[in-house]
Structure 1
Amino acid sequence: MRYFLELAYNGKNYFGYQIQPNQISVQEVIEDRLSKILRKQISIVAAGRTDTGVHAKRMFVHFDYEEELTAEIIKKLNSFLPKDIAVYHLFLMDEEAHARFDATSRSYNYYISPFKDPFSYESAWIFNRELNVDKMNEAAKLLIKQGDFGSFAKLHTDVKTNICDVREAFWRKNENNQLVFQITADRFLRNMVRAIVGTLVEVGLGKISIQEFNDIIEQKNRSSAGASAPAHGLYLVDVQYSKELFKNELK
């Protein structure tokens, strides 16, 4: 039987989501705890991969297990998982359901605090220089298209294509007076959102014009874009699937 888990994590203490040699990852921790509870080696597949230090407010993973599970597994998992990883929901799925391939979109938020804040320095980029948000939003509109985003991709990765379908990209202020960049696409390249944010901040500072930002997109060359924004301000906030996929939430 195939199951989906909905979960969240604070990425501060992890070298990204995906398992890697000699470094602690979110995937490794979840698989270890789940395998111990179910007394069988369990492998999980996620909707996507987050980089070192990046957080997820809403992530989905799937795994296979031949016996029927109940929502009791959520309580057990949360009691075994560290405080920076939490599981919220468990779904029984069709056998063909896939956490990564069936996802129709993913959304990220990036948080910038315009003032020194002892309570958000680990969860947002503290940046107190004045930014022209109107110009940053004007530039962000140029991202809304299906195209090659190689200018914002980490170099030397194993992806076969840099084509992404960006469906929304804009800046707004939240109730804490933080500047929030929200972006949704069918898929994202490694380091893509942080590279976009870093480059848009240069637009906001007046270092890059709207036309130059458009040129950067068209050049498809990572060296032409700005530096990546710090990882700790980035959050995976949503993963969308077809509504028909989630038939049975276990409660």
Structure 2
Amino acid sequence: MSLSIAEKSYLFDSLSSAQALRPDGRLPYQFRPIEIYTDFLPSSNGSSRIIASDGSECIISVKSKVVDHTVEKDLVQVDIDIAGERDDSILVESITSLFNKIIDTIDVSKLQLTQKYSFKIYIDVLVLSTYSYPVSLISFGIYSALNSTYLPKLISSFDDLEVEELPTFHDYDLVKLDVSPPLIFVLAIVGDNIFIDPAFNESKVANNGLIISWSQGKVIAPVRTMALNNTYVKGFKPSLVQEGIDLVNKYGQDIVNALV
């Protein structure tokens, strides 16, 4: 869907005014409605399907593998596919790089099985459709998938440095994966105003965008800017970065509570 010049001009004036009014009536801190379904892929250790009110949709699958962590150091890997985009496109590569960087903040000690072996977690993301920058949608989906992930229960000894066999697991007992993945929020800057979770039409007139990561009750690195369109991009007041951080710090825990 494209917007005419008149529509963009009207929308920009509306969003940048002192009494800003979003097209769908949301307040600056409000998210669009989403639906989340978990644990629906029988061949995965965990899964989620997330659908936004604008029709954007993605599916996340979490699978595990036992690896020797003395050889393989990266214990969490994220792969992202976006329908209609090449695997080597700038959009796919930049989002995949962002998530692999932010996922490093997970406490991988929770994945350790023995002194030699750990679980390696593979997170596969398929974005079926997207009408706005999909980072928040993917982030919420990964959070929900990891929180619905169950792994086999270990029954062999922890002290196995001199043993070559792989760890032994219970035949049917499972243990919930106890990790707290970070969340990533996208914010749009229009004039001197800032809005969380911009819709397609808001992104088209945004002067700039912010990507803010949040975990364990506070904003964490990376915090970065990004262009949400190729037309309206320009600089902004540095104070808006702090305003965006304050907005995420204030409402981040509410989002976590809604996802659990």
Q: Smaller-chain TM-score range?
A: under 0.3
TM-score, structure 1 normalization: 0.24
Structure exhibiting the larger radius of gyration computed from Cα positions = 2
